[in-house]
Structure 1
Amino acid sequence: MNIQDLIRQNIKALKPYSSARDEFQGVTDDMVFLDANENPFQNGVNRYPDPQQHNVKLLLSKIKNVATQNILLGNGSDEVLDLLFRAFCEPHQDNIITLPPTYGMYEVLANINAVDSIKVNLSERFEPKVDEILSVANKNSKLLFLCSPNNPSGNSFKTSDIETLLNRFKGLVIIDEAYIDFSDEASWLEKLPLYPNLVITQTLSKAYGMAGIRLGICYASADIISVLNRIKAPYNVNELTQLRAIERLEKEEEVAKEIEAIKAQRNLLITELKSIDFISKIYPTDANFVMVKVDDANKRYTQLIEKGIVIRNRTTQPGCENALRLTVGTLEENTKLIKTLVALQAV
């Protein structure tokens, strides 16, 4: 596959904006900055941030064993996904393929970018229908989105299915690994060099507990990253986000302990949910949430809201009739949830 054949023509011809801080490398403490029309009085954020986030990428490179040239950072994963649309999808011409039930922003971004969205619903077990996906794909199908572990069902897709799609789909295959840290399955990062059309997105919002700083991560070939760098905003990741990301990434042991605690709470929560009589099914999960099937999702959702517990009602999504998605909280939060559910059995 030649990635150049997938890029929009106007993006190929684009002369990217060069910010003041893009024009040199190797910042030292004694340098005098008179290039970017900044306020010279130091307050910690009076200077523009590193446009390429080198220090964050160096840490991620060490942790994930991926070269920095294969990493792009964004203002949340949503910016990363939007960049993929803008680089590879021609408005009013190209299309993407999504597999509902899945993360809703894929379709929203398609609508924003005037790109058609072809939907191939997951099977009853929430697995990709590989043959159907390949049969509906055409020469204008540029992006295929696989959310694994999947949101909202929580399951990871079979390796063999993803490999088939990577080998046979003619566009980019984006694997959204927002929840991979909670799974016992290996990340697809280790197979990145094998597939030129593979794009992996991750985030600091979930396992790293940094939802408030909005930092999304894209891993792909150097060719794809180069294209995305050409069209991203010059200073898309602010200084405070970069500093907090570095601080958190340097605490690998602490993050690992939190992940194990969440997984332990997930197992305890699943055990307790089995005793609730209006829950008829608990779906397997590799994420930090559990999807359950109840007698009446709208009723139970409203009841929990009235008790001060906010969950997610997924009953309108394909294959998710009367399904609720429960995020794994702290021991105290999970205990309150279970006690409330037990009490609602009599209602």
Structure 2
Amino acid sequence: MRFEIDDLIRSDIASLKPYIVKDVPYKIKMDANENPYNIPENIKDVIAKEIYNHHFNRYPDPSAFELRQALSSQLNVDTNKLVIGNGSDELISYIISAFGGNKTGVIFPTPTFSIYGIFADVWGTESIGVPLSKDFELKQDEIISKMDSVDKSIVFISHPNNPTGNCFSNQGIMDIIEHESKSIIVLDEAYYEFSGNTFLPLLDKYENLVILRTFSKAYGLAGLRVGYMIANESITKQIMKVKMVYNINSLSQKIALILLNHKDQMSGYINQILRERDRLINGIDKIDGIKQFHSDANFILFRTNTNADELFSAFLENGILIRNLNEKGLLENCLRVTVGKPEENDAFLTILESQ
């Protein structure tokens, strides 16, 4: 061969680094904002029956119509306003691939969910991060200024924001939504079930508004990757042009549908997580040298007045995996813990108190 494979790669891709999740041994996992509870046994029985009767030899429904129909009924939106994705990640990629490109900026506050910037780079679209205030509040005027600096833009707002955990002020977000510019505004409501704060009722008023949600968090389906987009048909019809044909496997569609049909039971687990979040907040408050930040999600961001790397290592030595976010800037000496089961939260607090 007269050439190197590296010579064939797009120059903008060549400089990227892959998103790698390190394999770290642990006894208690509290790092990834997952639901700590597995699917209840009675629901597993329903899923088992579905697996037994499932036609694995057939391609899945490319439109995920049954799942969209169920979501349509629960959310009171038309089925044509729904697109199902292989997790919200895939839908974020579709949005940027459809509306990004030359002369478009992907704008987002920082720190936030890193996938927005990653997919902007993958699709050759300029990524523009706008730092939050020291209190992790949205600087909407600066975001609007960035919107005005490009021909077109896609604005991503994680609501509540990951990793800070807070919902930004509704007025600040409304200022961005109502600003006159050629922009798609994406509200990523992955943690909606924990915050209860949504912009979904505004969908009919603002044609350029997109809402993202997921089954990975509150519904405990992180291992199956099911997310969904709610947007006006003028947007969803464009997304369908770039969507992979069979992007959601048939079993994931069925299991997500089963969980929707057991929504009341799953709500009990959500309420338990919220109670444990409050208990964890109260426990952290009593520990000297730790500052925690308000959370509307299923995780808590906190800062230590010592060395975050050493504290992270202390947790690992005791078998507890949390997320080390320590870096210069707004997240210096910050770590993030996912709300776990009561015994997991007790173990976390015991280690934190001992340091």
Structure 2 length as normaliser, TM-score? Answer: 0.82
Q: CA deviation at 1:114?
A: 1.2
Measure the CA separation in 2 of the matches of 1:307 and 1:81. Answer: 36
Aligned to 1:171: 183
Give the superposed CA RMSD.
1.4
Q: Of 124, 128, 131, which aligns to 1:114?
A: 124
Q: CA deviation at 1:307?
A: 0.8
Residue 347 of structure 2 is aligned to residue 336 of structure 1: yes
Per-residue CA deviation, residues 296-328 of structure 1 (Å, 9 max, x unaligned), is 211101110111101111122741111111100
Per-residue CA deviation, residues 9-62 of structure 1 (Å, 9 max, x unaligned), is xxxxxxxxxxxxxxxxxxxxxxxxxxxxxxxxx962101111100110111111
Aligned to 1:285: 295
Aligned to 1:9: none
Asked if the contact 1:101–1:317 (Cα under 8 Å) also holds between the matched residues in 2, the reply is no
Measure the CA separation in 1 of the matches of 2:328 and 2:293. Answer: 15
Measure the CA separation in 2 of the matches of 1:315 and 1:263. Answer: 26
Asked if the contact 1:95–1:141 (Cα under 8 Å) also holds between the matched residues in 2, the reply is yes
Aligned to 2:237: 226
| Matched-pair identity in % | 37
Measure the CA separation in 2 of the matches of 1:342 and 1:134. Answer: 43
What is the count of residue pairs matched by the alignment?
Answer: 300
Q: Of 246, 255, 266, which aligns to 1:244?
A: 255
Distance 1:201-1:158 versus aligned 2 partners, 3 A rule: same
Distance 1:43-1:269 versus aligned 2 partners, 3 A rule: closer
Asked if the contact 2:69–2:79 (Cα under 8 Å) also holds between the matched residues in 1, the reply is yes
Aligned to 1:99: 109
Per-residue CA deviation, residues 95-136 of structure 1 (Å, 9 max, x unaligned), is 211110100011111111111111111112212211111112
Q: Of 117, 125, 128, which aligns to 2:135?
A: 125
Q: CA deviation at 1:147?
A: 0.7
Per-residue CA deviation, residues 58-117 of structure 1 (Å, 9 max, x unaligned), is 1111111221111001111111000011101125x4221111010001111111111111
Higher relative contact order (CA 8 A, sep 6+): 2
Measure the CA separation in 1 of the matches of 2:144 and 2:350. Answer: 46
Letter in 2 for 1:181: E
Aligned to 1:64: 75
Measure the CA separation in 1 of the matches of 2:347 and 2:192. Answer: 27
Aligned to 2:4: none
1:299 partner SS: helix
Letter in 1 for 2:301: M
1:304 partner SS: helix
Aligned to 2:29: none
Residue 202 of structure 2 is aligned to residue 201 of structure 1: no
Aligned to 2:315: 304
Aligned to 1:235: 246
Measure the CA separation in 2 of the matches of 1:319 and 1:66. Answer: 38
Question: Greater Rg, structure 1 or structure 2?
Answer: 1
Asked if the contact 2:104–2:154 (Cα under 8 Å) also holds between the matched residues in 1, the reply is no
Measure the CA separation in 2 of the matches of 1:316 and 1:170. Answer: 34
Q: CA deviation at 1:149?
A: 0.3
Letter in 2 for 1:294: T
